[in-house]
Structure 1
Amino acid sequence: MDKFQAFGKNISASFTPFAARTQQYVKEQLGQADEKTELPPDYVELERRVDALKQVHQKLLQVTSQYANEAYDYPPNIRESFNDLGRTISEKVHLLSTASSPAEAQAAFTAPPSAKPQPKTFNHAIARASLAGSQILSQSDTKGTDDPLAQALEKYAIAEEKVGEARLAQDEKIQARFLAGWSTTLNTSLNFAQRARKGVENARLSLDATKAKVSRGGRGMNPDYDSNNMTETQRVEIEKAEDEFVNQTEEAVGVMKNVLDTPEPLRNLADLIAAQLEFHKKAYEILSELAPVVDELQVEQESAGELSQEP
């Protein structure tokens, strides 16, 4: 029986503060609270800044999380077959180069898939379409001449595949160096700050509930009760609640300052920019190397056409 009574007292001790805070919160929402302890202005300013930082993380992560989706730029209207996605462009070009007849070329182009499907990115899709176009032109040329457009499309296909691989490398770096960091800040550091703020709110509600109880003398509403005539027990109870409020506030201030002062978000953003810059630089180099080759094919074709028109 004694154990049961002790258990009941423990339940009551833990429930009573919660009930008092809840009652105080409801009174405040209904505008019936006699007093509400104000939070320090500096603390309120920190709360505003932390809320702003959280909103920034949520908004940017909502967009940049697409870097974890390989097909974020893959055209939805494309219908590629299993064979289309079976081998890399480089593999297909190599197989086509060893073909000695149109039939062998077609067999090489539709060779069984390799270990894993090829990536579904816009650049890879362009590469596959370009190589398919090159093969169509080559098969349609019964004279066996090297069609300039077919040659250009094959080279373009190889280049676009390289650009696509560079894009995938960029995405991996962004996932590791930006998304992971910002997600950690949002789900760990900012959540920790939110829990600290919740502790302050609970301490404030407990303090105001204690003040309200003392002002009523613990006997219900009593308009003639003078709060200056508190008993020693009541005074100690309020001081204890005030100390808890101050301690929770100081702890939350420290937590929020740490969240706001950490250089991690800016460092992660710099890594995001660096990954994007590296990708665009790589794409520029690949296409810059290809452009004069295609231009030369164009000039050669135009020259050949002019010669064929001479009498």
Structure 2
Amino acid sequence: MDQFTKLTQGISQNFSPFAEKMGANFTQLKQLASEKLGATNPITELPREYVELESRFEGVRIFHAEMVKISKTFTQSEGDTELKQLKTQFIGITNTLGDRFNSLTGSTKAAHHPQASSQSSIGVETEPQTIQHAISSVCIENSEKIGLEEPLGASLYKFGTASDKIGDSRIRMNNAIREDVVAVLQSETLQLIAVAQQSRKDVQGSRLALDALKSAHKTAVPAKESAIRAEVEKAEDIFVTTVEDAMKHMRQVLESPVIIQAICSFASAQLEFYKESEKILTELIPDLDEIKLTQDALYGHSEQ
């Protein structure tokens, strides 16, 4: 019997907070429904400072969510369907150039094309990690078919080698953004925003509870009026406390330097990538121009 009594007491103790919470939620939902229908007393206004702070916080919250999403997309592996289609098209172009070149020059390299293709198909082909690596792959593969001693083959090889270096730089940029932007935004800042969001919900709940009690006080019978007035005063204190708490948490988000640092890291990673790319391409273009002059001279010689 004693065990049964303890069991029922335990159930009662566990159920009471749950029932109390359900009752509070019901009261808030009822008040919210009344407000939507316009069948309620004037709504308690939030402090102007709170409203302005909430608007600024909402801007940060939306930016944070979008920045994380965009940063993830920005650093995704480009070995997707679009890149595969582009690689296929690029292979078709370079193969066509090589075939036409060999047919015009009467080179015997064309006879080796099927063998080269079959050899490449035997090995396990790995998907390129960036668009630059895809370009590098098709350029270098077809430069060997055309012949590195030919101007076109040499041009493709040099361009492919440069693209490979740029692709490696792109991977370093992607990794830096994942570590210094995405990971940072998804840790400390995300937690601060989550706490602030919950505090905003607490403000909404305490405001609804307060207005529900105010409505009940206006329609209360004299015998209950004093007790309800005390409940209203208690609800007002809770409302003020939740507003102050929410403002504190929203300020923590707005004053945090983490987002600015993440933006700076994003910009720095891009700057490093573009600087390396510029250096590689600056060295490449004069070589390609020189090879083009050689090609022009060869064509001019053959026409005479």
TM-score bracket relative to the smaller structure? 0.7 to 0.9
Q: CA deviation at 1:5?
A: 6.3
Partner of 2:289: 295
What is the TM-score when the length of structure 2 is the normalising length? Answer: 0.78
Partner of 1:279: 273
Q: Which residue, out of 8, 25, 37, partners 1:30?
A: 37
Q: CA deviation at 1:63?
A: 3.0
Q: Distance in 2 between matches of 1:207 and 1:230?
A: 15
Q: Is the 8 A contact 2:181 2:263 kept in 1?
A: yes
Give the match's secondary structure for 2:170.
Answer: helix
Q: CA deviation at 1:180?
A: 2.3
Check 1:7–1:106 CA distance in 2 against 1; reply closer, same or farther (3 A cut): closer
Q: Establish whether residue 176 from structure 1 lines up as the match of residue 179 from structure 2.
A: yes
Check 1:292–1:210 CA distance in 2 against 1; reply closer, same or farther (3 A cut): same
Partner of 2:144: 135
Q: Is the 8 A contact 1:134 1:151 kept in 2?
A: yes
Q: Which residue, out of 8, 25, 46, partners 1:39?
A: 46
Aligned pairs, number: 274
Q: Distance in 2 between matches of 1:156 and 1:79?
A: 15
Q: Distance in 2 between matches of 1:242 and 1:173?
A: 49
Q: Distance in 2 between matches of 1:189 and 1:5?
A: 36
Q: Which residue, out of 57, 60, 78, partners 2:67?
A: 60
Q: Give unpaired runs (5+ residues) of structure 1.
A: 81-100, 139-144, 220-224
Alpha-carbon displacement from aligned partner over 1:289-311 (angstroms, at most 9, x marks no partner)? 1112222222334345556667x
What is the TM-score when the length of structure 1 is the normalising length? Answer: 0.76
Q: Which residue, out of 132, 154, 159, partners 1:151?
A: 154
Could you tell me which amino acid in structure 2 is paired with residue 20 of structure 1? T
Alignment of 1:72-87 (within 5 A): 74-78=82-86
Partner of 1:269: 263
Check 1:109–1:127 CA distance in 2 against 1; reply closer, same or farther (3 A cut): farther
Q: CA deviation at 1:124?
A: 1.4
Q: CA deviation at 1:118?
A: 4.4
Check 1:125–1:5 CA distance in 2 against 1; reply closer, same or farther (3 A cut): closer
Partner of 1:126: 135
Partner of 1:206: 209
Give the match's secondary structure for 2:46.
Answer: coil
Could you tell me which amino acid in structure 2 is paired with residue 286 of structure 1? I
Q: Distance in 2 between matches of 1:107 and 1:7?
A: 72
Alpha-carbon displacement from aligned partner over 1:177-230 (angstroms, at most 9, x marks no partner)? 12223344674322221100001111111111112222222x5xxxxx79xx94
Q: Distance in 2 between matches of 1:46 and 1:153?
A: 58
Q: Distance in 2 between matches of 1:15 and 1:125?
A: 59
Q: Which residue, out of 229, 252, 255, partners 1:258?
A: 252
Partner of 2:23: 16
Q: CA deviation at 1:7?
A: 6.3
Partner of 1:90: none
Partner of 1:110: 120
Alpha-carbon displacement from aligned partner over 1:261-308 (angstroms, at most 9, x marks no partner)? 111111101111111111111111111111122222223343455566
RMSD (Å) for aligned C-alpha atoms: 3.2
Q: Distance in 2 between matches of 1:280 and 1:10?
A: 59
Check 1:24–1:151 CA distance in 2 against 1; reply closer, same or farther (3 A cut): same
Q: Distance in 1 between matches of 2:16 and 2:83?
A: 66
Partner of 2:91: none
Alignment of 1:213-232 (within 5 A): 213-217=216-220, 219=221, 230-231=225-226
Alpha-carbon displacement from aligned partner over 1:45-92 (angstroms, at most 9, x marks no partner)? 111111122222333344332124211785352465xxxxxxxxxxxx
Give the match's secondary structure for 2:42.
Answer: coil
Q: Distance in 2 between matches of 1:159 and 1:180?
A: 31
Partner of 1:236: 230
Partner of 1:95: none
Q: Give unpaired runs (5+ residues) of structure 2.
A: 89-108
Q: Is the 8 A contact 1:163 1:286 kept in 2?
A: yes
